[in-house]
Amino acid sequence: MFITASKLYDFMQCPHKVWRDVYGPQEEKIDEKNPFVELLWEKGVLHEKDIISKVGSFVDLSEGTIEERIGKTLEEIQNGAPLIYQGVIHYENLLGVPDLLRRMPTGDYLPIDIKSGKGFEGQDEFEEEEIMPKKHYAVQLSLYVEILLKLSFAREKKGAIIDISGRELVYLLESVQGVRNAQTWWELYLEIKNRVLDLLSNKTQDKPAIAGTCKLCPWYISCKKWCLEKEDLTKIFHLGRSGREVLNKDLGIEKVRELKVLNVPDLLVKKKKDKTFLKGFGETLLKKFIDRAIILEGGKPILHQQINLPKVKNELFFDIEDDPTQDFVYLHGVYCRDQKGERFIYFLARENSRDSEKRAWKEFWNYINSLPVGDFAVYYYSHHEKSAYKRLSQRYPDVIKNEEREAFFANPNAIDLFQIIQKYTDWPLSSYSLKDLAIYLGFKWRDESPSGALSIRWYNDFLQNHSEDILKRILEYNEDDCRATMVLKDGISKLSQG
Ligand code: SF4
């Protein structure tokens, strides 16, 4: 079995996936392509085509069987082809398909991948944060470099990425990962490669989990079933794979019910004597996870602290829809509850243009500015809205200044319910997503398969065909998200009242 760039990528998303793809119950794997994953793929293909149309002349090796392409790539490299597109390089159990192989003045070949994302982490249009290579790009490039080194077609450990903006960024793979991490990218690659090898040969298996990355995975239902049957510890919100590993290793516990009966004072005594024991778990965290384990099976939500939400005449529950592949906010939805009743108001970018995005943004702020000062409260869920609004105010400073936007969110009446949920409450659920919480509280989305990722797919379809039916679906989904936020706010208030 070959080690490929996609296996390395899968490992970085979820180690268990590498194993499950080979040895898992294949009949439980969902065949159906996720529409959002498909959209990402389509966008990637379009971006690659665009870049390729601008790189000048090249040898195209994108057609043919893998064996034929391996042979042709070798031949072209030996003939000194200046640029090869979609060549296949192979050495023993390593197989790579770099988008481009460029001959350097030294005669060596540089592997280049075309990516439809940003080339480095922290590379923001406006931020001046420290930028650093992306882990999965560095690891994938390392695979190509190792093959080229083994074949004597390269001598340096470096590759390049052409990113969404068309910039070429060089990845020096022997440099350390950061100030606080002395491991080089190359060492990271070797470590990951060995772990992937162990999984592919069934030497190790890793375990399924309930995690944030699972929702877009074709094994989602299968792994969730396993976790429920085994009462796996990742059923506990936020405990995660690494927490599970610590509890498995140090306490020998595997099941939620075993966590419920732990004696915290005894554990703390042991922890005091041995600093490596239950690393990362302090008293508060242990108690929190035990509380969550106790209520998980049939228990009731818990309120850890009294919460007083503002008493105002106008309540707004808002939610945005944006397409991160284009850094584009296409919809601001607001569900308004006041003395006149309830209604949904929205501000939509009907075209995929900065003008249209700006117009919707401006209309949204005109609406906010029309509200009675001091007599409204705004509720949203998670930092996503806040971060998107930060980018919009930086992009369109003439609509609203940064300071005004900051003041808006600093107002105690602008409330991120996720913060409240996380800090002051616990629920008998494995996930505290808006969807899971609102469904628990009895809310039902009109759409049968509601998701932000699907909305992005619909919006992209709407841009193509301007179908009013699709637009209706987008708006209904957004309205339901806003109403779900209202249901959650009411649920918290009720919990507060006892
Ligand atoms: S569903 Fe989750 S745990 Fe299972 S393979 Fe996919 S990402 Fe991994």
- Reduced to 3 states (helix: H, G, I; strand: E, B; else coil), residue 321 is strand
| Whether the CB of 207 sits within 6 Å of ligand 1 | no
* Calpha distance 70→75 (Å, rounded): 9
Both 371 and 319 in one domain: the answer is yes
pTM, entire model: 0.85
Amino acid symbol at 186? W
| Whether the CB of 227 sits within 6 Å of ligand 1 | no
Q: Could you tell me what percent of the chain has a pLDDT over 90? A: 84
Ligand 1 centroid – CA 13 distance (Å): 9
pLDDT range class, residue 213, cuts 50, 70, 90: confident
Q: Looking up tokens 């000194």, which residue turns up?
A: 80
E strand spans, 45-155: 59-60, 83-85, 89-91, 94-96, 100-103, 109-114, 120-121, 132-133
Would residue 205 count as lying in a domain?
no
Concatenated DSSP letters of 31-48:
-SPPHHHHHHHHHHHHHH
Looking at residue 436, its pLDDT comes to 94
Q: Which of 257, 241, 243, 240 is nearest to 206 (CA)?
A: 241
Q: Does the structure show a pLDDT above 60 at 125?
A: no
Would residue 207 count as lying in a domain?
no
The residue from 183, 200, 217 where one domain ends is 200
Q: Which of 419, 422, 326 is nearest to 379 (CA)?
A: 419
| Whether the CB of 360 sits within 6 Å of ligand 1 | no
Both 329 and 252 in one domain: the answer is no
Q: Are 211 and 26 in contact (CB under 8 A)?
A: no
Looking at residue 215, its pLDDT comes to 85
Q: How many independent structural domains does the chain possess? A: 3
- Reduced to 3 states (helix: H, G, I; strand: E, B; else coil), residue 317 is strand
* Calpha distance 149→476 (Å, rounded): 54
Looking at residue 121, its pLDDT comes to 79
Taking residue 165's Cβ as centre, other Cβ atoms within 10 Å add up to 10
Would residue 479 count as lying in a domain?
yes
Amino acid symbol at 409? F
Q: What is the pLDDT of residues 157-174, one digit of tens each?
A: 999 999 988 999 999 999
**Segment holding 170, helix H or strand E:** strand 168-172
**Segment holding 176, helix H or strand E:** strand 176-178
The residue from 299, 332, 349 where one domain ends is 299
Q: What is the pLDDT of residues 224-248, one digit of tens each?
A: 999 999 999 999 999 999 999 999 9
Would residue 436 count as lying in a domain?
yes
Both 352 and 478 in one domain: the answer is yes
Q: Does the structure show a pLDDT above 80 at 124?
A: no
What torsion, rounded to 10 degrees, do the Cα atoms 444, 447, 448, 453 define?
Answer: -110
Both 166 and 91 in one domain: the answer is yes
Protein residue closest via CA to atom 7 of ligand 1: 214
Q: Which of 449, 434, 458 is nearest to 385 (CA)?
A: 434
Both 293 and 324 in one domain: the answer is no
Q: Does the structure show a pLDDT above 70 at 130?
A: no
Protein residue closest via CA to atom 5 of ligand 1: 17
Instruction: Report the first-to-last Cα separation within the chain, whole angstroms.
Output: 58
Both 318 and 290 in one domain: the answer is no
Both 45 and 167 in one domain: the answer is yes
Q: Does the structure show a pLDDT above 50 at 126?
A: no
Both 188 and 46 in one domain: the answer is yes
Domain extent, residue 92, equals: 5-200
Would residue 369 count as lying in a domain?
yes
Both 289 and 337 in one domain: the answer is no
| Whether the CB of 209 sits within 6 Å of ligand 1 | yes
Average pLDDT over residues 183-207: 97
Both 364 and 465 in one domain: the answer is yes
Q: What is the pLDDT of residues 426-457, one digit of tens each?
A: 999 999 999 999 999 999 999 887 788 889 99
Would residue 245 count as lying in a domain?
yes
Would residue 27 count as lying in a domain?
yes
Average pLDDT over residues 119-126: 62
Pick the more confident residue, 151 or 117.
Answer: 151
Helix axis angle, 402-410 relative to 384-395, nearest 10°? 160
* Calpha distance 351→361 (Å, rounded): 13
Q: Output the average pLDDT for the chain.
A: 93
* Calpha distance 74→70 (Å, rounded): 6
What are the two backbone dihedrals, phi and then psi, of residue 370, each rounded to the nearest 5 degrees?
-85, -5
The residue from 259, 276, 299 where one domain ends is 299
| Whether the CB of 220 sits within 6 Å of ligand 1 | yes
Protein residue closest via CA to atom 2 of ligand 1: 214
Q: Does the structure show a pLDDT above 80 at 10?
A: yes
Pairing of strands 59-60, 83-85: parallel
Ligand 1 centroid – CA 226 distance (Å): 11
Looking at residue 497, its pLDDT comes to 85
Q: Are 61 and 84 in contact (CB under 8 A)?
A: yes
Average pLDDT over residues 53-77: 97
Concatenated DSSP letters of 326-385:
TTEEEEEEEEEEETTEEEEEEEE--SSSHHHHHHHHHHHHHHHHTSPTTSEEEEE-STHH
Both 10 and 146 in one domain: the answer is yes
Residue of 9, 10, 37, 213 with the most ligand 1 atoms within 8 Å of its CB, for mutation: 213
b or e along 138-149 (b: 16 or more beta carbons within 10 Å of the residue's beta carbon)?
bbbbbbbbbbbe
Would residue 250 count as lying in a domain?
yes
Q: What is the CATH classification number for the domain harbouring 409?
A: 3.30.420
Both 320 and 411 in one domain: the answer is yes
Residue of 220, 233, 239 with the most ligand 1 atoms within 8 Å of its CB, for mutation: 220
Pairing of strands 158-162, 109-114: parallel
Looking at residue 122, its pLDDT comes to 63
